[in-house]
Amino acid sequence: MNNDLTASLISTVVGTKLQGRGAIYVAQNFRFTAPVKAGDTICIHGGEVVVKGDALLLVPTRGAFTGSCD
């Protein structure tokens, strides 16, 4: 798999699964440390590190809770 496709998979997951309402995915910075081939499984637990980096998200602040817990 091309490293560009790996990066797009990461940005898709961050952009669609990890953001909250009103959040903006601003930037990403990746450094590929090994190739990812077709059929490889990409996971976040153990195994060989194939990409390192960070992402910047702007997430709106939430207002203080004003309801009741009764």
Residue 1 is predicted with a pLDDT of: 53
Residue 69 is predicted with a pLDDT of: 57
What's the pLDDT tens digit per position in 13-63?
777 777 677 778 888 888 988 888 888 877 777 778 888 888 888 887 766
The answer to whether residue 3 scores a pLDDT higher than 80 is no
Q: Specify the number of domains making up the chain.
A: 1
Q: Which domain holds residue 47?
A: 3-58
Residue 65 is predicted with a pLDDT of: 53
Q: Which residues contact 17 (CB under 8 A, 6 or more apart)?
A: none
CB 39 within 8 A of CB 5: no
Decide if 42 is inside a domain: yes
Decide if 25 is inside a domain: yes
Decide if 67 is inside a domain: no
Q: How far is residue 37's CA from residue 62's CA, in Å, rounded to a whole number? A: 41
